[in-house]
Structure 1
Amino acid sequence: MTARRVVITGIGVVAPGGIGVKNFWNLLSEGRTATRGITFFDPSQFRSRVAAEIDFDPEEHGLSPQEVRRMDRAAQLAVVAAREAVGDSGLELDELDPHRVGVTVGSAVGATMGLDWEYRVVSDAGRLELVDHEYAVPHLYNYFVPSSFAAEVAWSVGAEGPTTVVSTGCTSGLDAVCHAVELLREGSADIMVAGATDAPISPITMACFDAIKATTPRNDDPEHASRPFDGTRNGFVLGEGSAVFVLEELESARRRGAHVYAEIAGYASRCNAFHMTGLRPDGAEMAEAIRVALDEARVNPEEIDYVNAHGSGTKQNDRHETAAFKKSLGEHAYAVPVSSIKSMIGHSLGAIGSIEIAASALAMEHHVVPPTANLHTPDPECDLDYVPVTAREHRTDAVLTVGSGFGGFQTAVVLTRAERRAA
């Protein structure tokens, strides 16, 4: 039996500097950065005091006061992104069998902002050892269970099919989308609304990354603080956001005349079984994930037109990733354009993988490779074409996008033009 081919027919994005797909792509293609000093709380006690925040008014973007009261910020971002994706797809979901419409949402850290705030409330800013639960928001339980994110998205779009949350750290956004692809391929659903969300910019998160010195202390120049592959980089910039897609089988999309952004042609994940935060310098596990994803997509390494890198801006990651590209793509690694959008919108943990899928699909849509902003002094050990500062027009028919996460998770996804693969 021929496997069902799965394509993206709708995209929704809520990201720093750009709510909505159009604004998101404008920011990336113009090489602008959305990193700034933290405004959500007083960050003066922290080593790193910069982040990529979203100027987001939930009611302005269609959420009711009751929805705002009920949902953590990460859930709000996901619902807004999902609504945009469904609208973009042209589907009338209420005309479909709801049992054949599913939802998959990825998240690394769940309702971090809601839990952090509610603890401050019930403990009277930490002064009470025995907290007073009567001060808690009525829907506090939803903050404890990340499954509430998937439930909120499902309720929002009227989906009654398979609904789940995927949490694999910083690869959650890639893994969630590809779990949805597998459900479509096996016939468990006809439509999947899939993506990821995280809103981690809170004191507890900043404290955790401060402790391991993973985030940048470049507080005097937040606009240029995220510098993947640059020799002067000194850590990543925390971000927030959500990207959600409508996925469906290719022939079904063609029958209804849908716009197809890209086919998700290949996917693989691996774990290095090595260290909770450390990476082997040879990039072997990421290289293996890339090799398997290319094989599934039936794409040769030299056919990849653009690599959307994880590119967190830590020396360990950037060198590990460079080695993985060389190992998996061979000589083509030196010829293919590579870039990291985290230079512009920060690292939104579990959400970033889905946001990077959106960037990859839009790069194919416009034949433009977004740049690696702030890359002025290349690290000699990162000697590939990392597209510095300015976007580049480039024929893009096949894209490799990768993710790397704490716990040793390594994921690779190959996107192609549906027409190209048919040819």
Structure 2
Amino acid sequence: MEDVQEHIVIRGFGAILPLGIDEAGIAHAYNSGIPAFKTIQHQNQPTPVAALPPGAELELERLINSNPEYRQLDRSVLMAIYAARQACQQAGWLTENGMQQDDLAVNIGSSRGATGLFEQYFQAFQQEQLSASSSPTTTLGNLSSWVAHAVNAGGAQISHSITCSTALMAIANGIAWLKSGMAERFLAGGTEAPLTDFTIAQMKAIGIYSKLHDHPYPCQPFGAARQNTFVLGEGAGILALEKVTAVELQPGDVIVEAVGLGFEPITSKTGISTEGLNFQKSMRQAIRQLPQQDQSIDLIITHTPGTRSGDKAELAAINAVFGGQTPALSTNKWLVGHTLGASGALSLQYALILLRYQQLQFPKYPLLVVDQYPTSLRRIMINAAGFGGNAASLLLRIIQ
């Protein structure tokens, strides 16, 4: 008997980011092309950041007021809970009776984890006033466990960090669990709340942080500014994933066709080679999973965080893989900055919006890598990479 073809379909997506909290509003923000940056004073220097807007802050405050225990949690955990509940609401997975759903597993990651609470508790430690809550509220496993409580998930609860590839790695893990039958439904994604004194200082110490605080585009991927223009942003993005047969798919469904992973030896502080070998490996591995007769890609949403060496390496890798047939390229970081462990999930949401709305009014970003954009989109690749030489490439396709 011939095997039944199965697919991983996105049943819901939840997000909270500098562009907003709901898909329609975020789609409008993408089309408007207005960057979500503001300038703060950090170490007596004007510093651009991408923070949540007032409406999103209000939603987080409502979330905190809904459960007294939430007041002890780090901002990264709160954003993950908000996005996860939104994803489950879309998927129809929220249960109001409090019954645990043992077939629902969770994998939420973060590059930095509870940075806000870490800094707060370290200051208390120096003053010999450390709270008993310090360890349980800063452990990385706290991410998925609190999300699981919030959505009554009784399956596996996994938290991890693989720097800025974290969200796509979580999705890869979810796909593996679903395909193996170890879970029937899966929540996967990333969250990051890095707008803290120490985290911003770390990025400045590497020498990559943008000095263009008074420029309309303080973050300029693809090397438009001929200098490092990395800007930190905050947010969370969570997917609700499910395995279905081909006959169960409906027009408009979006499936995760493939996830490729790449790794290369560390040759610098950040693990970036000039050829982007990690990206080359991840993209090629993802493409190999497509049907041989149908491997066309309409658009690549690049990682490109605005660092000269990193952006150049990724573009070199894309050229090596695709040669003279490079797909159109786009990115959302010139609008929302780099959200570290959440960035892959938020790039994926950008891809979902493009696939669902098919409104390709690409904003007039200062530097276009290609002159022509497709008139319609069927398949999009999303890239992510992180310190340590890792990379991930994910392929989405809309059912037509």
TM-score, length-scaled by structure 1: 0.85
Letter in 2 for 1:52: A
- C-alpha spacing 1:65/1:238, structure 2 compared with 1 (3 Å): same
- Separation in structure 1 between the aligned mates of residue 193 and residue 293 of structure 2, nearest angstrom: 37
Q: How far apart are residue 189 of structure 1 and its match?
A: 0.8
Q: 2:379 aligns with which of 391, 398, 413?
A: 398
- C-alpha spacing 1:360/1:370, structure 2 compared with 1 (3 Å): farther
2:173 corresponds to which residue?
A: 179
Q: Deviations over 1:73-116 (max 9, x none)?
A: 00000110011111112335569971111111011110001211
- C-alpha spacing 1:301/1:230, structure 2 compared with 1 (3 Å): farther
Q: 1:35 aligns with which of 28, 34, 37?
A: 37
Match of 1:280, SS?
coil
Q: How far apart are residue 157 of structure 1 and its match?
A: 0.7
- C-alpha spacing 1:70/1:240, structure 2 compared with 1 (3 Å): same
Q: RMSD between aligned alpha carbons?
A: 2.5
Q: How far apart are residue 329 of structure 1 and its match?
A: 1.6
1:417 corresponds to which residue?
A: 398
1:408 corresponds to which residue?
A: 389
Where do 5+ consecutive residues of structure 2 fail to align?
Answer: none
- C-alpha spacing 1:105/1:372, structure 2 compared with 1 (3 Å): farther
Q: Deviations over 1:15-74 (max 9, x none)?
A: 013122222222112212101113xxx51435x611101131313357525143121000
Match of 1:267, SS?
strand
Task: Indicate conservation of the 8 Å contact 1:288/1:328, yes or no.
Answer: no
- Separation in structure 1 between the aligned mates of residue 151 and residue 174 of structure 2, nearest angstrom: 16
Does 1:132 pair with 2:129?
A: yes
Letter in 1 for 2:370: D
- C-alpha spacing 1:183/1:416, structure 2 compared with 1 (3 Å): same
- Separation in structure 1 between the aligned mates of residue 37 and residue 228 of structure 2, nearest angstrom: 15
Aligned residues: 391
Q: 1:290 aligns with which of 280, 283, 286?
A: 283
Q: How far apart are residue 353 of structure 1 and its match?
A: 0.6
Q: Map of 1:184-203 to 2, 5 A cutoff?
A: 184-203=178-197
Q: How far apart are residue 312 of structure 1 and its match?
A: 0.7
TM-score, length-scaled by structure 2: 0.90
2:50 corresponds to which residue?
A: 52
- Separation in structure 1 between the aligned mates of residue 332 and residue 154 of structure 2, nearest angstrom: 34
Q: Deviations over 1:158-207 (max 9, x none)?
A: 11111101210000011111111110011111111111101011011111
Q: Map of 1:88-237 to 2, 5 A cutoff?
A: 88-93=90-95, 98-123=101-126, 128=127, 131-133=128-130, 136=131, 138-221=132-215, 223-232=216-225, 233-237=227-231
- C-alpha spacing 1:93/1:347, structure 2 compared with 1 (3 Å): same
2:265 corresponds to which residue?
A: 273
Q: How far apart are residue 4 of structure 1 and its match?
A: 3.4
2:356 corresponds to which residue?
A: 365
- Report % sequence identity: 23
1:85 corresponds to which residue?
A: 87
Q: How far apart are residue 393 of structure 1 and its match?
A: 7.1
- C-alpha spacing 1:198/1:206, structure 2 compared with 1 (3 Å): same
- Separation in structure 2 between the aligned mates of residue 280 and residue 393 of structure 1, nearest angstrom: 30
Task: Indicate conservation of the 8 Å contact 1:337/1:369, yes or no.
Answer: no
Q: 2:335 aligns with which of 344, 348, 353?
A: 344
- Separation in structure 1 between the aligned mates of residue 138 and residue 371 of structure 2, nearest angstrom: 40
Letter in 2 for 1:306: L
- Separation in structure 1 between the aligned mates of residue 336 and residue 292 of structure 2, nearest angstrom: 30
Task: Indicate conservation of the 8 Å contact 1:197/1:241, yes or no.
Answer: yes
- C-alpha spacing 1:140/1:3, structure 2 compared with 1 (3 Å): farther
Task: Indicate conservation of the 8 Å contact 1:106/1:172, yes or no.
Answer: yes
Match of 1:273, SS?
coil
Match of 1:401, SS?
strand
